[in-house]
Chains A and B, each alone.
Chain A
Amino acid sequence: MAVAFIQKAFNGSQPAVTSLTATFGAGVGSGDFVIGTVTDGLSTTISASAITDGHGNNPTALIDNVF
């Protein structure tokens, strides 16, 4: 089976927000793959538990760095 791009979503903000949500235009298909990036003005790494799909699921943090 060949991989195929389906859809994208994005959200960005000025400071003073405690959470930020990127929302797809349509529901994610069963069995599909979602990949993304989070960036924040922090001096500590971002935990995977800080990211959720709204159904109680946390992602696998693939790369997590502080620059």
Chain B
Amino acid sequence: MTTCFDAGGPLATATFYFANVTNGATAFTYSTPGAPGFTGIEVQEWSGVATSSPIDAHNMASNGSVSTTQTTPTITTAANGDGIYAALAGTETGFGNVTAVGGTGATFTLRNADTSQNMVFDSSAIQASAGNVNATFTLSSAQTYMTAIVAFKAAGGAAQVPYQPYFQQMLASRRKPTIGWKEGYDNRWRRWRRLRGVIVPDRRVRCAA
């Protein structure tokens, strides 16, 4: 676990998950353990996620720069087809609205947007191919924020690994020229005979003999 602190705090933030939910829950409640402060909670439900050890990679950081663009840490996923969850939480007063989301390695969609207190936001994406991924949030007000990013794996293991289609392509590339050359040769040979009226023993018969 990485710990970091922001001089504008204090503000506590936790990212959490429930794997393999079985009881049809609809409500998720946070009870503050200390003196009540500004609070926010947001959740997303996903299907098709591995029920055991679902997390591929994750990270959290306090972005110290006062900016309208906040970027999560970059994580490196190991499995293709991961779901990517990104969160943004304010660490000081004077929060702004999220006006756009983006990132690298996947195409993100804004999911929860706290337009009342502007405390917490989230986005998500599906990353087709494993590798580096991060998320960005564009805000209407420059501030410092906390960002988190989590990658979770698909059930049944990773999607098809890249070397399989490459291997199939290699096999095809070895077969096709041979077949294409032979068919092309035979067709040209038959056409030459038809055009010139030349009687020549069929190659296949001659070869068979």
Interface residues of A (CB under 8 A from B): 1-48, 50-55, 57, 59-67
Contact = CB atoms under 8 A, between A and B. Distances in A.
B7 to A, nearest CB: 9
Given A3-B48, A11-B41, A18-B36, 14 more contacts: A5-B111, A8-B44, A11-B40, A12-B117, A21-B27, A28-B25, A33-B17, A33-B49, A33-B54, A40-B37, A41-B38, A44-B12, A51-B14, A65-B62
Interface of B: 1-6, 8-49, 51, 54-55, 58-60, 62, 81-83, 85, 87, 89-91, 109, 111-114, 116-117, 119-120, 122, 124, 126, 146, 148, 150, 152, 154-156, 159
Interface of B is mostly: strand
A17 B34 CA distance: 11
Contacts of B25: 27-28, 34, 53-55, 57
Given A7-B45, A22-B27, A22-B28, A53 B117 contact: no
Nearest to A54: B27
Contact of B42 (A22, A27, A63, A65): A22
A40 B26 contact: no
A67 B9 contact: yes
B12 A66 contact: yes
A38 to B, nearest CB: 5
A42 B119 CA distance: 14
A-B pairs, 4 with minimum CB distance: A41-B37, A36-B43, A33-B49, A59-B16
A11 B115 CA distance: 10
A35 B117 contact: no
B66 to A, nearest CB: 14
B12 A43 contact: yes
Contacts of B60: 63, 65
B49 A3 contact: yes
Given A3-B152, A8-B112, A17-B36, A34 B146 contact: no
B58 A62 contact: yes
Contact of B12 (A35, A42, A48, A60): A42
Contacts of A29: 21, 24, 45, 47
A62 B14 CA distance: 7
Given A12-B40, A31-B22, A17 B32 contact: yes
Contacts of B85: 35
Contacts of A31: 20-22, 47, 51
Given A50-B33, A62-B17, A67 B5 contact: yes
A66 to B, nearest CB: 5
